[in-house]
Amino acid sequence: MWLGSLLSTIGDWVLFAILPFFVYQETGSPVATGLMLIAQVVPPAFFGSLAGTLVDRWDRRWTMIGCNLARAAILLILLMVPSTGWSVPVYAVAFLLSLCAQFFTPARSALIPDVVPRDALVGANSLDALIGAVTRLVAPAVGGVLLTIYGLGSVVSVDIATFLVSAVCVALIRHRPRAASVDPRPRPVVAGWRLLWMEHIDGLRQFSRHRPLIMLLAVNAAVSLSYGIGNVLLIVFVRDTLQGNAMDFGVVSSAQAVGGICAAIALGALGSRLPLNATLGVALLLVGGILFVAFGQTSVPAVVLLLGLSGAPITTTFITFQTRIQSAVSGEYRGRAFGLIGLTGSVAMFAGIGTASVATVWTGPGILLQGSAILYALMGMLVLVSRESQPLGQDRSPGITPTSPRQAHHNSGRSGIPRRG
């Protein structure tokens, strides 16, 4: 499973680190380049939560396999793109790949607790975080070399190969499948969609009554808002404030990956010996403090050093956050929970992009970036005061309990849905 996720993530990063640059190279238009980001943000904003409901209905392993094969097929479109008139296919491919990711990512995150025991979740999520750190460090450079020497077709071909091999790896996973979450008897199409919508609403109602998940959604929204601001303003900060060039920007962009790799290895070794909420809260406070200092600097080496340090608590935040979701939500609702996380994150990131684009007219990038760093610190304080910490990877808080489709149908007419500890 880890190898399949690694290959799939490398494929994503090799392409999406280079595709915006390819668009800008062909058009010279920041607007055309920005449309690439919009094409990737729209699917999670509109389909993320509902996709999670479908993931809870389907076999998660086959969902991952299907998504990998679908993405490989979608990428074939780019191999047929002519030298002119390529813009619409490129945006369509970006949209469709992002749409597939709305099913693949929740399925992968929800499947991890089905594959490993509860006390091994931290180690498994640390390996998952290691994937992200390694690919952020390596994939953009690989994609840049391929695009420069061999052209876009080589990048696309490598991406297709990673998805196909990833599908084979996932197919080799052996685990006990979950019981079907829906009545297997055939039903009319309209009734099937109605039941799907009822399950979706049932999940949202359950989540609205679950305070730990509401707190985590708030943290995810604030962090994504800050990330959106950083996406827009980091290049402006490096170019205007630091007076750096393209090479400086590349070094600054990849600096966090170094600290992230170290943190993933360390947390994987420590496992459940750290308190869950305390680790998440302190990590968020450290991220906020380090980034606040970093975006007040005026030299490239100082910023690179501080961003490298921030990579460790940022990766720690990801690991503890994902473990917390997996521990708090039962398998019946886990896909919907991660779908909702993707939805809130994408909407907040889009808001951050808009905020940075408008507000930078009246203030410098450094001030806005420092403001986004304060959001991290505020969320860290929220986590620390929210509830008593639990052993990392061994959270015994009463999670969201399963509700059968028959119960979901019965409960849909009630104003409140009963919960079990």
**DSSP letter string, 41-106:** HHHHHHHHHHHHHHHHHS-HHHHHHHHHHHHHHHHHHHHT--SSS-HHHHHHHHHHHHHHHHHHHH
Q: Which whole number is the average pLDDT over 102-112?
A: 84
pLDDT in tens, 22-66: 776 677 665 666 677 777 777 877 776 677 778 877 888 889 899
Residues in a beta bridge with 391: 275
Percent of the chain whose pLDDT exceeds 70: 73
Burial of residue 115, with CB atoms counted within 10 A of its CB: 0-12 exposed, 13-18 middle, 19 or more buried: middle
- Determine the 3-state secondary structure of 229 from DSSP: helix
Q: Which whole number is the average pLDDT over 281-307?
A: 90
Measured CA to CA, the distance from residue 220 to residue 48 in angstroms comes to 14
pLDDT band at 70; cut points 50, 70, 90:
very high
Nearest by Cα to 45 from 328, 354, 405, 402: 354
Counting runs of H as helices and runs of E as strands, what totals does the chain give?
A: 15, 0
Q: Which residues contact 242 (CB under 8 A, 6 or more apart)?
A: 248, 252, 297, 298, 299, 300, 303
Measured CA to CA, the distance from residue 126 to residue 319 in angstroms comes to 6
Please name the residue that has the structure tokens 């005061």: 385
pLDDT in tens, 309-356: 888 898 888 888 888 877 777 667 777 777 777 778 878 887 887 777
pLDDT at 287 over 60: yes
- pTM of the entire structure? 0.66
Q: Which residues contact 388 (CB under 8 A, 6 or more apart)?
A: 277
**Amino acid at position 421, single letter:** G
Give the CATH H-level superfamily of domain 2-174+198-407: MFS general substrate transporter like domains (1.20.1250.20)
Measured CA to CA, the distance from residue 180 to residue 58 in angstroms comes to 8
Helix-helix angle 121-150:19-27, to 10 degrees: 30
Q: Are the C-beta atoms of 44 and 338 separated by less than 8 Å?
A: no
Q: Are the C-beta atoms of 128 and 2 separated by less than 8 Å?
A: yes
Q: Which residues contact 405 (CB under 8 A, 6 or more apart)?
A: 181, 182, 183, 195, 199
Give the pLDDT confidence score for residue 207 in this predicted structure.
67
- Determine the 3-state secondary structure of 31 from DSSP: helix
**Amino acid at position 410, single letter:** H
- What are the two backbone dihedrals, phi and then psi, of residue 400, each rounded to the nearest 5 degrees? -75, 130
- What are the two backbone dihedrals, phi and then psi, of residue 406, each rounded to the nearest 5 degrees? -65, -40
pLDDT band at 416; cut points 50, 70, 90:
very low
pLDDT band at 244; cut points 50, 70, 90:
confident
Please name the residue that has the structure tokens 């904003």: 45
In this structure, is the dihedral angle defined by the CA atoms of residues 345, 346, 349 and 351, taken in order, positive or negative?
Answer: negative
pLDDT in tens, 74-104: 988 888 766 555 567 888 888 898 888 888 8
In this predicted structure, which of 34-38, 195-199, 290-294 has the lowest mean pLDDT? Answer: 195-199
pLDDT in tens, 358-393: 776 677 777 888 888 999 999 999 888 876 443 333
